[in-house]
Amino acid sequence: MNDPFLEMRDINKVFPGVHALDSVSLAVMRGEIRALVGENGAGKSTLIKILSGAYRADKGEIWLEGKKAEITSPLRALELGIGAIYQEFNLVPHLTVAENIMLGQIPTNWGVINTKEVQSRAKEVLHQLGIELDINQIVAKLTVAQQQIVEIAKALARNLQILIMDEPTAALNTVEIGNLFNAIRMLKRSGVTVLYISHRLAEIFEIADSVTVLKDGKLVETKPIQELNRDEVVRMMIGRQLTDYFPPKDTLGETIVFSVRKLCLESKLFDINIDIHSGEILGVAGLEGQGQSELVQAIIGSIKRDRGDIYRDGELIKIEDPADAMKAGIGFIPDDRKQDGLILIRSVNENITLPSLQKRKTSLLFIDFRREKEFVSQLIEKLAIKLTGRFQLVRSLSGGNQQKVVVAKWLGIQPRVLVMAEPTRGIDVGSKSELHHLMRELARQGVGILMVSSELPEILGMSDRIIVMSRGRIVAEFLSEVATEEMIMAAATKDIVSQETVKCE
């Protein structure tokens, strides 16, 4: 009885540039509810994707009931009784609720679907969850919360031994969360083992038996829930010293260079108001996927706002498209530089000149190459981009130098405002520090900077002021002198009970 039901031993997984999991081991008993916690990028999702067959481990073994299990595919995992609810929705949009719930295990007679049984079993599962939902509705027409429920029902419909849940409550309201927890407790009583990932610590203390903390791909500790309190968990999740060196901060200007008023985006952003002073770096913190990326996209016009005004130097500006933002002197450094920030297969020269081509035209329509050379060389020198020549392909640069190219590109338009998403994600320490100094220097010259970052040390070290986002809202604001990692994490993980009552009119 004291043998663990599930054991993962020495699991290793390396992605290009990241050691996502470094010899992680854990053992879970039958019927145990184990919470997995950790900061963004700690390796929780990778770990459960290995368990559910979506990824394969580079090294390591998985044992079930004392027998070694080879989990080669999602299908194999399901055969072994392991099922998962992933963070991103995995529903087929144009099938019905019932079909989605039963997908992969549709009851048939000689290949012919037993529609009655599909419907009755889907109904049964929804009933277990205490939820009313039209099972013949097409999933594409459901709300996000309803889709989440279908996702959960789909997992319950399989007679699983191990149920993995990755942030299952992200889109649910309090009542729905209560129903979900009842269903989980019921599963526990029938001997199902649950791995539960959540950022919301209150939930973990309500439902879990034990907690495993991961950090930077390594196991920190596993403890029974009774031996822990909230602060200890937060400390284990953060568990690092502020060793990074950040440039000294400066006094802020008086004028407001950039404002956002009453910005709304359906079910993503609710009444966002932001002011940035000249020379200020405003840090946007929060757990991943709380509306930060929607916020920057709405500001620069790559997604359409439902409402909300944007002002630059006190003047209302119309931004319908990234080109409008550029004209207004707003530069955008996206979090995914390879996808959104650069044209990898073209040269450094071309990438840097792209947003500001208009500025270096001859009287005809041609590009003035002499001016271009001067312009690019200056920027390369200013940012200390290491390369063999300005015609080197961006693809062949290191991450840090690639990011400098992205920044150089926007310096070319002489921005008044820079919107930066994860400006130093995945780059080496040296380039990181150089970029931080550059950001501070730009601020000193009067540029207002909005910096979204999921790295708390960066938020604290770089920002003059910090706002925290959760579920599409600004839930806290701190001056950086008084803010601590604990304060930010506490604000970011606090549950908002009355979320449904806030409407975006």
Partner 1 sequence: MSISTSNNSRSITRSVIKFSSRMRPVYYALILLCIIGIVTQPTFLSIRNLRNIILSTTPWAIATIGQSLALLTGGIDLSIGPVVSLTNVIAAFLMKSHPEMVWLIVLLCIGCGLLIGMVNGLAIARLRLNPFILTLATGIIIQGMSLAIMYQPGGLVTPGFLTLSRATLAHIPYPVFYLLILYGIGSFILKRTSFGLSIYAVGGNETSAHLSGIRTELVITAVYAISGFMAALAGLFLASRIGSGDPLVGDPISLDTITAAVLGGTSLFGGIGDLIGGLVGAFVIGILSTILNLNNVSPFYQWIVKGFILIAALAIDLWRQPFEK
Q: What are the residues binding partner 1 (CB under 8 A)?
A: 52, 54, 74-75, 78-79, 84, 86, 90-95, 99, 103-106, 108, 111-113, 115, 123, 132, 134-136, 140-141, 154
Q: Please spell the DSSP secondary structure of 374-423, one letter per residue.
A: HHHHHHHHHHT---S-TTSBGGGS-HHHHHHHHHHHHHTT--SEEEEEST
In this complex, which beta carbon is closest to partner 1, that of residue 104 or of residue 178?
104
The pairing of strands 59-64 and 18-28 is: unpaired
In angstroms, what is the minimal distance from the CB of 323 to partner 1?
Answer: 24
CB of 99 to partner 1, least distance (A): 6
Q: How far from 213 is each of 24, 102, 217, CA to CA, in Å?
A: 11, 33, 10
β-pair partners for 41: none
Which of 38, 3, 43, 5 has the alpha carbon at shortest distance from 23?
Answer: 43
> Of the two residues 46 and 453, which places its CB atom closer to partner 1 in the complex?
46
SS3 state of residue 331 = strand
Determine contact, residues 234/228, Cβ cutoff 8 Å. Answer: no
The least distance separating partner 1 from the CB of residue 142, rounded to whole angstroms, comes to 11
Cα–Cα nearest to 283, from 456, 427, 411, 405: 456
Q: Is-contact 92 103, C-beta < 8 A?
A: yes
Residue 102 or residue 192: which is nearer to partner 1 going by CB? Answer: 102
Cβ atoms of 252 and 280 within 8 Å: the answer is yes
299 by DSSP, 3-state: which? helix
- Return the number of the residue (103 or 490) whose C-beta is nearest partner 1: 103
Q: Which is nearer to partner 1, 88 or 227 (CB)?
A: 88
Q: What is the spatial distance between Cα 194 and Cα 177, in angstroms, rounded to a whole number?
A: 16
Q: What is the smallest separation between the CB atom of 78 and partner 1, expressed in angstroms?
A: 5
Shortest distance, CB of residue 296 to partner 1, whole angstroms?
A: 24
Q: Which long-range contacts (CB under 8 A, 24 or more apart) does 182-185 make?
A: 182/130, 183/128, 183/129, 183/130, 183/152, 183/156, 184/33
Buried b / exposed e over 396-426, threshold 16 CB at 10 Å, is: ebebbbbbbbbbbbbbbbebbbbbbbbbbbb
> 6 and 164 in contact (C-beta within 8 Å)?
no
The CB-of-146 to partner 1 minimum distance in angstroms stands at 14
Q: Of 104 and 430, which CB lies nearer to partner 1 in the complex structure?
A: 104
Interatomic CA distance for residues 58 and 67, integer angstroms: 20
What's the min distance (Å) between Cβ of 113 and partner 1? 5
Query: What minimum distance in Å lies between the beta carbon of 53 and partner 1?
Result: 8
* Choice between 91 and 274, CB closer to partner 1: 91
Q: Which is nearer to partner 1, 86 or 410 (CB)?
A: 86
* 113 vs 367, beta carbon nearer partner 1: 113
State the nearest-atom distance from the C-beta of 47 to partner 1, in Å.
Answer: 16
The strand pairing partners of 401, in sequence order, are none
Least CB distance to partner 1 at residue 77 (A): 9
Q: 136 or 378: whose CB is closer to partner 1? A: 136
Q: Which is nearer to partner 1, 115 or 378 (CB)?
A: 115
Instruction: Fill in the DSSP letter of residue 366.
Output: S
Q: How far is CA 198 from the centre of its chain?
A: 13
CB 219 → partner 1: shortest distance, Å?
Answer: 26
Which candidate, 401, 411, 281, places its Cα nearest to that of 337?
A: 401
